[in-house]
Amino acid sequence: MAPTLSAPQVPDPMQAPPVRWGVLGPGGIASTFAGAVRAGTRSMVVAVGSRSAERAAAFAGRHGVERSYGSYEDLVADEGVEAVYVASPHSEHHAHALLALAAGKPVLVEKAFTRNLAEAEEVLAAADAEGLLAAEAMWSRYLPSYDVVRRTVEDGTLGDVLLVEAEHAQLLWPDGPERLSSPDLAGGALLDLGVYPVAFADHVLGGLDAVRASGTLSDLGVDVTTTVTARGPRGGIAHLWCSMGAATACPATVVGTRARLELSGGGSFYGSGASVHLVAPDGTVLDEWVPTVTEHGFRHQVAEVARALAEGRQETWSVPWDATRRVMATMDEVRRQLGVTYPGE
């Protein structure tokens, strides 16, 4: 019998218990989050906070949010908020996560979790000390497609995994958002785009070491294009790259001794519209998994956080603390080799 993909076992997000969310930072990704909460879960966004009362009020109006605040302090103090989604720029994740945790609120922090491993350790230590959940919003790792990949690899269908290839390139520089160009905002391709290939390789291989990186930097000293090779704990090699100076189809491949997985479609390997194909060495497609729902991919991370909170856990299954630590450590080493540093590091 021909080998097949392992089926995902991700629960229906609509079956997760409801959580009352506060959104810290009303930017574009927060709008995506709020839309997914409303359309794909039983949870709700009940409050939003910004340094600008006007921006917070505008966000609240667009998304039907009850309360808006002109400060982050007021948001995290809201007694009706059960969990805080930190959607500020990378440079502020550390301070804003600590602010919410100090107010007794569990946090879901956008990727990259922080600027570096040292900041991540401080956030996780604070969560541990307070007995609160802290989770990284690497939304792709919560998707059913990633569960298909993980289970298929673990079931041995591919044989020994020899290679993971993944790329993420979007044309966002030099005319894109300021946050990507600015060292003050922890800009560059790696933390914004490269985190997807790095996290995918970590997901498949269970960690990365022997990291080797090269790349090109902007005139302000952030990375524009970065390539990474690394090795997993069982010998598999990762070949990863990212760029904010060009655009590609953003595919990914997991190559084993018996078969390979190809992730593509829907705009990227990491998106909720991506399909997973099981391919024989001769190129024959043996099996495929195609998502039945491609909208509101953030709903899966929202639901998993809700389940973790209901069960009294401080970590999510899809992105445990050790995974966040490993990814941050890898990106620290990449930046060290590239010579990219941020103010205050």
Tell me, yes or no, if 111 is annotated catalytic: yes
Burial pattern 119-144, b for ≥16 Cβ within 10 A else e, equals bbeebbebbeebebbbbbbbbbbbbb
What six digits make up the tokens of 313?
Answer: 């856990």
Distance CA 147, CA 210 (A): 26
Distance CA 171, CA 149 (A): 28
Q: Backbone dihedral region of 131: left (phi > 0), alpha (psi from -120 to 50 degrees) or beta?
A: left
- Catalytic residue, candidates 90, 105, 111, 299: 111
DSSP conformation class of 184: G
The answer to whether the beta carbons of residues 32 and 39 sit under 8 Å apart is no
* Residue 251, Cβ density class (10 Å: 0-12 exposed, 13-18 middle, ≥19 buried): middle
Q: List the Cα angle 258/327/192 in 5-degree steps.
A: 105
Just list the catalytic residues.
111
